[in-house]
Amino acid sequence: MKILISSLALSLAAASGAQAQIAKGTTLLTGNIGYTSVTNKSGNYDSKVSRFEGNLGAGHFLADNLMLGLNLGYVNGNEDYPIYNAIDPFDPYVAYGEYNTKEFSLGPVLRYYKFVGGDQAAFFGQVGGGYRSARQLIDPGLGFPSFQHDRKGFYGQLAPGFVFFPTPKFGLELSLRGLSYEQMKEEARDFSPETKTSSLDFGFGLNDLRFGASFYLGRN
């Protein structure tokens, strides 16, 4: 009886240890996208803010459930805003200005998985950072010429996520933009001095959701 109980205990321990992991040596290819669009009312007129974000990543598992890789990110954001007639406030005509921002980022990323309820679902935490460049094109409307701002700097990010495995080699991901920090610099140009900005952003709302897919090459 003792031998039987010991054998069952060892079998359960071996099974639980074998199922809940992504083995060292596995290669990860992943990508995700997110899109938000918000319309704000201002009197009888609307202003609209939209944002598209996409990420591509690749990495290698240095240990079970621990991946080190590289992430390439892209953001395209637009904001349309009404411009009122300051000379004649009763003039019903309203022009629209526009901000368009494009960002590119590249940097290393470290991701750790924690499986729950077997081998088909896992939460993960991801930390990364690196180089970021941004260009903002501003159209002030009313026939005035457009102008732009170019900024460069670095970023850091901490983000949570969840992955479901229909098969061991393929995962469906749901993640949040998470906590991010950036420090950017715009070079002096014409009559504008050099400027530096830093920001801390919390992206844990429904508008910050990303949907993605991942491939685990070499996983059994």
**How far is the C-alpha of 184 from the C-alpha of 132, rounded, in Å?**
8
List, for residues 78-108, the tens digit of each pLDDT value.
998 777 666 666 665 567 788 899 999 999 9
**How far is the C-alpha of 83 from the C-alpha of 54, rounded, in Å?**
31
Query: pLDDT 10s digit of each residue in the chain, 220 long?
Result: 344 334 333 333 444 444 579 999 999 999 999 999 988 876 667 788 999 999 999 999 999 999 999 999 999 999 987 776 666 666 655 677 888 999 999 999 999 999 998 899 999 999 999 999 999 998 887 778 888 889 999 999 999 999 999 999 999 999 999 999 999 999 867 667 889 999 999 999 998 999 999 999 999 8
Give the domain 2-217 fold: Porin (2.40.160)
**How far is the C-alpha of 83 from the C-alpha of 132, rounded, in Å?**
31
**CB-CB contact of 162 with 134 (8 Å):** no
List, for residues 146-175, the tens digit of each pLDDT value.
888 899 999 999 999 999 999 999 999 999
**How far is the C-alpha of 80 from the C-alpha of 98, rounded, in Å?**
5
Q: Any idea where the domains of the chain sit in the sequence? A: 2-217
Nearest to 130 by CA among 149, 114, 109: 109
